[in-house]
Amino acid sequence: MARSRALDYDDKRLAILKRSAQLFAGQGYERSSMAQLAASCGVSKALLYHYYDSKDALLFDVIYAHLQDLLEAVEGADDPALEPVARLRRLIGALLDAYRDANDEHAVQIAALKALPPDRQEVLKDLERRLVRTFSAAIAGINPALGGDSPLLKPVTMSLFGMLNWHYMWFRPAGPISREDYADLATRLIVEGARSLK
């Protein structure tokens, strides 16, 4: 007879993902062992293996859950009927808000995704590409010269992600600029830059 799941299975799994992200971000994926992960999560190694049969499986789920959260926030906020600048600002605000309290997961995505086997990487890269496509569509609406097969659309879109993806390195909630202020600033920089392109 198959072992039944505990009622708090999902809560425990999410707690394991959160604590594992902290350990991976703090000391690096390669230097983190299953024994250290179990200790960090406050569970036995045997219980950790009940949830995850390998460190790779745990890493995959940390990044997958993070990207799913980002996609849910961004795709839920997207409204192609909005004026292009308002649409982009809404997307940027949604992404920055989704990054709140996810610095560890985001750092792990950036630093450790490449440690996974190629087939597992591809699943995660597909999620990343969905995010990029949503933002590219909004940016293309700002300047018709960026639409179609323009070679500039990808560099502009990835420049925006460069600004947003690394903000966790310097942004502080009690700092001189709020998350909303930064969303306004990033929107303005991309919009003014995109409008200047021919």
Domains of the chain plus CATH, in order, are: 55-195 (1.10.357.10)
Mean pLDDT over residues 44-50, rounded? 92
In one letter, which amino acid is 124?
Answer: L
C-alpha–C-alpha distance, residues 196 and 152, integer Å: 12
Q: How does pLDDT run across 48-92, given as a tens digit for each residue?
A: 999 999 999 999 999 999 999 999 999 999 999 999 999 999 999
C-alpha–C-alpha distance, residues 183 and 131, integer Å: 17
Mean pLDDT over residues 143-159, rounded? 92
pTM (predicted TM-score): 0.91
Given a contact cutoff of 8 angstroms between Cβ atoms, the answer to whether 47 and 108 are in contact is no
Instruction: Please report the pLDDT score of residue 2 as a whole number.
Output: 46
Structure tokens at 186: 């990033």
Report residue 6's pLDDT band, with 50, 70 and 90 as the boundaries: low
Given a contact cutoff of 8 angstroms between Cβ atoms, the answer to whether 125 and 114 are in contact is no
C-alpha–C-alpha distance, residues 39 and 52, integer Å: 15
Report residue 148's pLDDT band, with 50, 70 and 90 as the boundaries: confident
Helix (H, G, I), strand (E, B) or coil at 6: coil
